Chains A and B, each alone.
Chain A
Amino acid sequence: MAHEHCRHLLGGISDYVDEEASEALCAEIERHLAECENCRVVVDTLRKTVSLYHSTCEPAEVPSDVKQRLYKRLDLSEFLE
């Protein structure tokens, strides 16, 4: 990661793993990855990091006691299912 070119591409890598980087930037990153092992590891582990968080996302649930207190505070208890 010491090379100037690696640093230059760093800012675009998050967009790249989201597949939101421009075509020109994608091409530049991919050309660089073909010859830079360190950057390949960084991109792979960044992609893995994001995918781990996506796959472990917990269900959006409110525990029933918390929910009851919320509805009471909002004066909505009559609508609690």
Chain B
Amino acid sequence: MRLQELAHSRTGDKGNVSNISVIAYRMEDYPLLLRHVTAERVGKHFADIVRGQVERYEMPSIGALNFVLHGALAGGVTRSLSLDPHGKSLSSSLLEMEIPGRG
């Protein structure tokens, strides 16, 4: 199923680094996110635009993951030539990811 069915997401920016949260709508789906939405998969999803490492941080208390994408903003918000220099749309892109369903 599409990640959008299980989670919501918001993008933030600092310099040339983007962070994308992935937050379970229902706390009981958090383990599913933990298992399937890995740093490696997110890195692959954004392979065309991320130049550096992808890190994942876990926030079990709120059922959320936080991904930090280094070198993801085409040189940084203030100098990027992108139409979306902040990378605000990256959260929507990530929610397109397909993951196995609740089973």
**A, B co-complexed:** no
Residues of chain A touching chain B, judged by Cβ–Cβ distance below 8 Å, are: none
